[in-house]
Amino acid sequence: MYLLDTHTLLWFLEGDEQLSKPAKDILKNSQNTIVVSIASLWEIGIKTSIGKLNLAYSLENVVENMQLQNIQILPIRPIHIIKMTTLPFHHRDPFDRIIIAQGIIEKATILSRDGFFKDYGCDLIW
Give per-residue pLDDT as tens, 42-70: 999 999 999 999 998 899 999 999 999 99
Q: State how far the Cα of 93 lies from the Cα of 89, in Å rounded to an integer.
A: 9
pTM greater than the 0.85 cutoff: yes
Q: What is the mean pLDDT of residues 16-34?
A: 96
126 vs 59: CA distance, rounded Å: 25
Q: Where is 105: in which H helix or E strand? A: helix 94-106
pLDDT tens digit sequence for 74-126:
999 999 999 999 999 887 899 999 999 999 999 999 999 998 898 998 899 99
Domain positions in the chain are 2-125
What pLDDT is stored for residue 90 in this prediction? 84
- Residue 36's H or E segment, with its range, is strand 34-37
Residues 105/99, Cβ–Cβ less than 8 Å: no
Quote the CA–CA distance of 5 and 108 in Å, as a whole number. 12
Looking at CATH, the fold of the domain delimited by 2-125 is given as Rossmann fold (3.40.50)
